[in-house]
Chain A
């Protein structure tokens, strides 16, 4: 059987050159933002400007070289976009460092380096994403274990009312971020195997088709456990994220819209229950509805809003706003800092960058030829979209505030590393998806294939 070397209508191109150009642009953004911060705050370029630029360029180009080497067919847009976001985040954290006399940007640079190293590591070690499918249950259990880690007394730390951190030798780590990736992989692995059974087999109950217990059971159990852990740890942002993620992946796998309906009902019910049970949820909702009623408690949101208003359309300029007035302007509210100094224009540009990541992930999912890859890529894309929505929505007062981090920009090692690994996995899947299918030789010899005639004299 001969297979066409190209899918109909799809032109296979490596596009590494395009990626290089975009990467240079992204570096210009990252380095330029850094320089602008120095100019804005102190009217002079930062002292370590050259070193910083070289380091950032080295990281980006090393990543690019690794991609050329082990994933030459992968999506060309993802790496540059993520580099730009990371660079922008670094510049903003540096800006706040200058105002509050801390040194967080150096640490964030270290985490970035680690993230890129892991990115390269994942790409080099994992040559085919389908190998992960064999470890579906292992990865699922790993994710539960990671989620449970902060509950261990002595290891776990409670910060801001949520017990989602662990401390090892002075470093704080948020295992939930890695658990998110593991759960996507585990869900994808399970769902792709059982999607037919989930979609077709089952009983009809009150007009709704319900799948069999043995099919739904394991995955439901895994999901409920993770949800309960998160609720127990009082990290409702992550609970929301995982809940939405699971539902969407279930819907994509089974193509049954009923899951979304049931899920929405469950979500509303859960949200109302959480609201009535947890006082800190009530605080968050009050802060969302009317932050000016108590500018002491809701200081973060109020200052964020003031900062955004002060930024206006074009922003105050890097280094020339007052984002340090916002509590945790370098982590939770880094979007508000961006909005203040780069204006609505800068904020929209950043949101579009995030949107691009989601779009490339979903596009990869569409063209991916195997179900596991499809589900994984779609899962990552939706997870990313949901996370950005919840974070930016909370900061801009579209929805109540939660504790989720801003991917690639927020100060925090675990989130940064987890997101780089996520991008590595996406590139791996997209490499497989965009690679031309292997040519299969037709049966029988080709005309020109002659046996060599050896003339014996």
Chain B
């Protein structure tokens, strides 16, 4: 019987070998991916008991871990919660992390591979790993100006502001309203945090939503900048070209007459392109849209960033849309930012910043630099150009000039700043018959050497339909943001 016993011994050996190999597979090979799964509580527990790195704005923390005397040892705290809620996001035991807390999680929790040496030292000295810090590009003065401007319209105002630095792409301000207090969700009182979270999720005004980047809206007349850019780029037009300025425009192939917002003509049967932009003449741009054609408009929109994701530092960016396969009447409507054209406030800010930067867009980014726990700089984000140059330098300066005239003499007058040349454009976008229109305003300043480009969207300020206008609601906010950046 010895031979079969020996054979069975080999079988047992094979069985054990299979066990050993499988164990190695699970505990060594698959360990990384298993640890990254969202519902892995062990990882969350470990991260929660660690001193998480701070998120800084201009050296001041907008998110930090303070030591507390409970099972988790560290509490995540958000000074200035309402102002920075959508940028920091929250770090919660039950709900995980959002926004920068999530995007830069490996740095903040100290588990980033770049910290390997630090972690090795920590393991040897049996210290808990610390997180590195993240500095945002935000200018606190601009952020405050944007936040206060929206709050002045009412705390429940649905609005968003994005301000970019045209030459670099830095996000100088990003505010979305209604906002929320991330401290409540990061609280260690888990029951309380759960009920607060559920209340926020069920709120129809969607306070946790970052309206600046997560939702697209019809841009309305601010899209005329794209149409004008397409016109200038085509070579067939310049600021003095004569365009249609009558009271209505009949959409081709239909019997629909589209009027101007003013109800009357734009100042004559033939007006200059500059004047059309100044008074935001629908008729001129409707006809321009048909003359340029859907392809030209689509191409121009793409060059400005429509249809792409480019935001660095936050996830969940919605893609702005210029519709495809347009027929003639819809092309005309698209040219004035209606029909199915939809843009995020970030997209409109990027468009404006591109025009400000001589036609070359810079990729927007939120994280300026990342530091290791010992404060050595780990990485400083490099500026990056958008893949396509949107317009030539000449066309950009021509368009800039037109926008300056719009502020000096046109509908964008509320954004004037004494002694500074401001370039701007208003927009009032029709959304639905039963919904109030959206008020937009985009601008940049100083026009010859731009320091800031800003886009403001006021979705709902609880104001009567007749009183809604880009110049009235949105422009003052843009003005205060620009003033905050440029300085006294």
**Chain A residues in the interface with B (C-beta under 8 A):** 248, 251-253, 255, 292, 295, 305-313, 321-322, 325, 339, 343-344, 347-348, 351, 354-355, 358-359, 362, 365-366, 371, 374-375, 378, 381-382, 385-386, 388-389, 392-393, 396-398
Q: Does B122 touch A at the CB level, under 8 Å?
A: no
Beyond A351-B19, A392-B23, A393-B18, 4 extra complex contacts between A and B, CB < 8 Å: A255-B1, A322-B45, A347-B23, A366-B6
Cross-chain contact A362 with B8 (CB below 8 angstroms): yes
Contact residue among B1, B9, B27 (Cβ-Cβ distance under 8 Å from A343): B27
Question: Given that A307-B42, A309-B34, A385-B16 are known contacts, is A347 also in contact with B27, CB under 8 Å in the complex?
Answer: yes
15 A/B residue pairs, CB under 8 Å, sorted by A: A309-B31, A322-B41, A322-B42, A339-B23, A354-B16, A358-B16, A362-B5, A365-B1, A374-B5, A381-B8, A385-B12, A392-B19, A396-B19, A396-B23, A398-B19
| Residues of the B chain whose Cβ atoms lie less than 8 Å from the Cβ of A308 | 23, 26-27, 31, 34
**Chain B residues in the interface with A (C-beta under 8 A):** 1-6, 8-9, 11-12, 15-16, 18-20, 22-24, 26-28, 30-32, 34-35, 37, 39-43, 45
A376 to B18, CA, bound (A): 25
Contact residue among B1, B16, B22 (Cβ-Cβ distance under 8 Å from A375): B1
A382 to B11, CA, bound (A): 9
Contact residue among A251, A321, A351, A358 (Cβ-Cβ distance under 8 Å from B20): A351
| Residues of the B chain whose Cβ atoms lie less than 8 Å from the Cβ of A305 | 26, 30, 34
| Residues of the B chain whose Cβ atoms lie less than 8 Å from the Cβ of A306 | 34-35, 37, 40-42
Contact residue among B12, B27, B30, B40 (Cβ-Cβ distance under 8 Å from A358): B12
Cross-chain contact A313 with B12 (CB below 8 angstroms): no
* Dominant secondary structure of chain B at its interface with chain A: helix
A360 to B5, CA, bound (A): 12
| Residues of the A chain whose Cβ atoms lie less than 8 Å from the Cβ of B5 | 252, 362, 365-366, 374, 378
| Residues of the B chain whose Cβ atoms lie less than 8 Å from the Cβ of A374 | 1, 5
State how many angstroms separate the Cβ of B427 from the closest Cβ of chain A.
47
A312 to B42, CA, bound (A): 13
A60 to B19, CA, bound (A): 29
State how many angstroms separate the Cβ of B274 from the closest Cβ of chain A.
61
A310 to B30, CA, bound (A): 10
State how many angstroms separate the Cβ of B267 from the closest Cβ of chain A.
66
A374 to B26, CA, bound (A): 37
| Residues of the B chain whose Cβ atoms lie less than 8 Å from the Cβ of A310 | 31, 35, 40, 42-43
A132 to B399, CA, bound (A): 104
| Residues of the A chain whose Cβ atoms lie less than 8 Å from the Cβ of B3 | 255
A348 to B6, CA, bound (A): 23
A to B contact number (C-beta, < 8 Å): 119
| Residues of the A chain whose Cβ atoms lie less than 8 Å from the Cβ of B27 | 308-309, 311-313, 339, 343-344, 347
A375 to B1, CA, bound (A): 8
| Residues of the B chain whose Cβ atoms lie less than 8 Å from the Cβ of A311 | 27
Question: Given that A325-B42, A385-B15 are known contacts, is A351 also in contact with B23, CB under 8 Å in the complex?
Answer: yes
CB-nearest residue of chain B relative to A355? B16
Contact residue among A295, A309, A313, A351 (Cβ-Cβ distance under 8 Å from B16): A351
A393 to B18, CA, bound (A): 9
State how many angstroms separate the Cβ of B87 from the closest Cβ of chain A.
31
CB-nearest residue of chain A relative to B13? A355
A398 to B25, CA, bound (A): 10
State how many angstroms separate the Cβ of B395 from the closest Cβ of chain A.
54
Cross-chain contact A362 with B18 (CB below 8 angstroms): no
CB-nearest residue of chain B relative to A195? B1
Cross-chain contact A251 with B8 (CB below 8 angstroms): yes
A292 to B37, CA, bound (A): 10
State how many angstroms separate the Cβ of B19 from the closest Cβ of chain A.
5
Question: Given that A251-B4, A306-B34, A325-B41 are known contacts, is A348 also in contact with B23, CB under 8 Å in the complex?
Answer: yes
A255 to B1, CA, bound (A): 7
Contact residue among B12, B18, B23, B43 (Cβ-Cβ distance under 8 Å from A344): B23
CB-nearest residue of chain A relative to B30? A309
| Residues of the B chain whose Cβ atoms lie less than 8 Å from the Cβ of A398 | 18-19, 22
Cross-chain contact B16 with A389 (CB below 8 angstroms): yes
Give 3 closest A-B pairs by Cβ, nearest first: A309-B34, A309-B31, A385-B12
A375 to B43, CA, bound (A): 49
State how many angstroms separate the Cβ of B23 from the closest Cβ of chain A.
5
State how many angstroms separate the Cβ of A435 from the closest Cβ of chain B.
19
State how many angstroms separate the Cβ of B324 from the closest Cβ of chain A.
37
Cross-chain contact B23 with A255 (CB below 8 angstroms): no
CB-nearest residue of chain B relative to A255? B4
Cross-chain contact A252 with B35 (CB below 8 angstroms): no
A348 to B76, CA, bound (A): 40
Contact residue among A309, A313, A348, A382 (Cβ-Cβ distance under 8 Å from B26): A309
State how many angstroms separate the Cβ of B71 from the closest Cβ of chain A.
13
Cross-chain contact A313 with B1 (CB below 8 angstroms): no
CB-nearest residue of chain A relative to B2? A366
Question: Looking at A309, A312, A322, A354, which has the most chain B CB atoms within 10 Å of its CB?
Answer: A309
Question: Looking at B5, B6, B8, B43, which has the most chain A CB atoms within 10 Å of its CB?
Answer: B5
| Residues of the A chain whose Cβ atoms lie less than 8 Å from the Cβ of B16 | 351, 354-355, 358, 385, 388-389
Contact residue among B1, B26, B39, B45 (Cβ-Cβ distance under 8 Å from A396): B26
State how many angstroms separate the Cβ of B47 from the closest Cβ of chain A.
12
A362 to B6, CA, bound (A): 8
CB-nearest residue of chain A relative to B16? A355
State how many angstroms separate the Cβ of A349 from the closest Cβ of chain B.
11
Question: Given that A252-B1, A309-B30, A393-B18 are known contacts, is A344 also in contact with B9, CB under 8 Å in the complex?
Answer: no
CB-nearest residue of chain B relative to A313? B28
A354 to B19, CA, bound (A): 12
Question: Looking at A306, A362, A388, which has the most chain B CB atoms within 10 Å of its CB?
Answer: A306
CB-nearest residue of chain A relative to B25? A396
| Residues of the A chain whose Cβ atoms lie less than 8 Å from the Cβ of B19 | 351, 388-389, 392-393, 396, 398
A321 to B1, CA, bound (A): 47
CB-nearest residue of chain A relative to B34? A309
A56 to B43, CA, bound (A): 36
A365 to B3, CA, bound (A): 11
Cross-chain contact A348 with B8 (CB below 8 angstroms): no
State how many angstroms separate the Cβ of A296 from the closest Cβ of chain B.
11
CB-nearest residue of chain B relative to A344? B27
A388 to B6, CA, bound (A): 19
A443 to B11, CA, bound (A): 46
A167 to B8, CA, bound (A): 37
| Residues of the A chain whose Cβ atoms lie less than 8 Å from the Cβ of B30 | 305, 309
| Residues of the A chain whose Cβ atoms lie less than 8 Å from the Cβ of B37 | 292, 306
CB-nearest residue of chain B relative to A191? B1
State how many angstroms separate the Cβ of B20 from the closest Cβ of chain A.
6
CB-nearest residue of chain B relative to A359? B9
State how many angstroms separate the Cβ of B387 from the closest Cβ of chain A.
37
Question: Looking at A310, A311, A322, A325, which has the most chain B CB atoms within 10 Å of its CB?
Answer: A310
| Residues of the A chain whose Cβ atoms lie less than 8 Å from the Cβ of B8 | 248, 251-252, 362, 378, 381-382
State how many angstroms separate the Cβ of B113 from the closest Cβ of chain A.
15
CB-nearest residue of chain B relative to A339? B27
A348 to B31, CA, bound (A): 16
CB-nearest residue of chain A relative to B21? A398
Question: Looking at B1, B24, B39, B45, which has the most chain A CB atoms within 10 Å of its CB?
Answer: B1
A445 to B436, CA, bound (A): 125
